[in-house]
Amino acid sequence: MLEPMSKSGQYIEMIPSQDETLEFSPETGAQVRSDAFASDPETRRALQLDALAAILPMDRRDLLAQILTDDDVATLKHLAREGMGENSLRAIASDLAYFEAWSLAATGSPLPWPAPESLALKFIAHHLWDPAQKAIDSLHGMPADLAKCLADQGNLRIDGPHAPGTVKRRLAHWATLHRWRGLDGPFGSPSLRTALRLSVRASSRPLQRKSRRAVTSDILNALIAVCAGARLADTRDKALLLTAFASGGRRRSEIARLRFEQLADEEPVPADPGNGDGPSLPCVSIALGRTKTRTAGEGARVLLVGSPVIALREWLERADIVKGPIFRAIDRWGAIEERALTPQAVNLILKRRCIQAGLDPRDYSAHGLRSGYLTEAASQGVPLPEAMQQSQHRSVQQAARYYNTSERRLGKAARLAG
């Protein structure tokens, strides 16, 4: 952008910083920094959050702007510049907003930095508690008026104690935010660790699966069958579902941000691995880049072979995609947009196809494609190390759970009663 001439008669090029947004003044037509119009803190925070529109859940931008403080927004923007993963930053932003709302409702004050140990203990007591004890002692756990206040604000969506994993994640994010601010928090104290361990033991909420049921090959075939229409959305959804499953059960965030530049054509492979002279199948490799458990520099790649490749190529050809996002939004008139699908849209596509296939959408989510891939691999006798190469699970214990479940279902141990 060019500012008016200086005294020397030269135009001075003014480059806005990453934190600034340029707008046109309605009175002069000149470009000015948007912060000049943000006279109230909430509007200023909303404008600053716009800079993170590709990462944060911007459908909640106004709510985040109301809850988060200026320092909170500055911390999030710092984390984004430091290269934190999109999903991690999105989760931290959501948890930080919850902390701020909870602190204000529970104590009447914004979240203090650094947080005292007593506040962290109060957070644990409010979110991990024994339902049986709550039934006889109304003061046990989160007070009813506090729960109602948070629920009315849209910040509390469940009744009963939180999942232990959710509480542990939020405490970990709280500790991370302290470190990024250069502060010492109470999260490593023995008393806090002991309280968390005992509270988890007392809370009787069982572990909830991300998807009630796995999307195994029979379910996948039912979903693909309802994508047989001639609409662009049918072609896209078929390619999306097959790609997500066959590439090892990719996470919905990985599918949403998959780009054309990550694809590479490979030599066709034999349809029968034992017969090199027989028919061959098309093969494409996908460079995964950054994932939940791997960095972009690790160069992880997975393969697509056969029908998923055919479906993906058909979508790319019909949509005329030669660069940028692969799976894109389609408007109500059937026009393909430039923007990529969001991870939430990937989940909604799967649920919509479940409804069309006569399945209960409450039983399935996009994570069911990931669990379904390993479950199917176990059922078909694929060795665990080979399946993990495709799924890119780092934890053998995590991946083996699906194999153990499959073996128990097919074994004799659970059938002794006849």
- Do 147 and 260 reside in the same domain of the chain? no
Cβ atoms 350, 225 nearer than 8 A: no
Domain contains 243: yes
Q: In which residue ranges of the chain is pLDDT below 70?
A: 1-65, 81-85, 204-211, 289-299, 403-418
> Are residues 230 and 179 both part of a single domain?
no
92 neighbors 173 (Cβ within 8 angstroms): yes
Last residue within a domain, chosen from 140, 172, 202: 202
pLDDT of residue 60: 53
The answer for 370, left when phi > 0, alpha when psi is -120 to 50, beta otherwise, is: alpha
Q: 26 with 47, same domain?
A: no
Within this chain, do residues 64 and 176 fall inside the same structural domain, yes or no?
yes
Residue 122: per-residue pLDDT: 95
pLDDT for the residue 90: 79
3-state helix, strand, coil in the chain (%, to 5): 50, 10, 40
Residue 417 forms part of a structural domain = no
272 lies in some domain:
yes
Position 388 in a domain: yes
Q: Let me know whether 63 and 152 are in one domain.
A: yes
**Helices (H) then strands (E): counts for the chain:** 17, 9
Look at residues 369, 406, 368 and name the one whose alpha carbon lies nearest to residue 384.
Answer: 406
CA distance 127 to 132: 15
Claim to verify: residue 16 and residue 107 sit in the same structural domain: no
| Domain total of the chain | 3
Q: Where are the alpha helices (DSSP H) in 261-382?
A: 307-319, 343-356, 367-379
Same domain, 80 and 169: yes
Distance, CA of 274 to chain centre: 40
Contacts of 333 (CB under 8 A, 6+ apart): none
- For 325, which DSSP code? B
Q: Do 80 and 23 fall into the same domain? A: no
Q: According to the model, what pLDDT value does residue 13 have?
A: 30
Residues 20 and 115 in one domain: no
Predicted confidence at residue 404, as pLDDT, reads: 61
| Contact in structure between 232 and 214 (CB atoms under 8 Å) | no
Q: State how far the Cα of 159 lies from the Cα of 157, in Å rounded to an integer.
A: 7
Residue with tokens 């340029």: 22
Do residue 258 and residue 176 come from a single domain? Answer: no
Q: What is the pLDDT of residue 234?
A: 96
Residue 394 lies in a domain: yes
| Residue 211 placed within a domain | no
State which residues form the domain around 91. 41-202
Q: Mark whether 109 and 227 lie in a shared domain.
A: no
Residues 250 and 288 in one domain: yes
Please tell me the pTM assigned to this model.
Answer: 0.59
Is residue 173 assigned to a domain? yes
